[in-house]
Structure 1
Amino acid sequence: QINQAYNQLYAPYVEFRTVMSIADKLREVGIYVGSHWTRLPWRWFIPNRALFSDVMRFIVLYELGGIYIDVDTLLLRDLQPFFPYECAYRWSILEAFNTAVLRLFPKSHISSTIINRARQTKSSYEFFPSSLHQKHSLPVNFYRLPSAFFDPIWFAVDGGDQSSRQEWKLSSGSVIAFKDPLQQRSEISRRGRTVLDGAFTYHWHASSTSNIFEPGSYLHQWGEFLNNQIVDA
Structure 2
Amino acid sequence: MRELLEAVAAGECSPAEAEAKLNGYVTEEAGRFDAARDTRRGIPEAILAEGKTPEQVASLATTALETTGRALVTRLEDTHFAALEERLEETVPDAAVDRRGATLLATAADHDRPALEATVAIVTAGTVDGPVADEAALICVDAGLAVDRIDDVGVAALTRLIDQVERLRAADVAIVAAGREGALPTVVAGLIDTPVIGVPVSSGYGHGGDGEAALAGMLQSCTVLSVVNVDAGFVAGAQATLIARAIDGARTSGS
Does TM, scored on the shorter chain, surpass 0.5? no
TM-score between the two structures when normalised by the length of structure 1 = 0.30
Greater percentage in strand? 2
Higher normalized contact order (CA 8 Å, seq sep 6+, divided by chain length)? 1
TM-score between the two structures when normalised by the length of structure 2 = 0.29
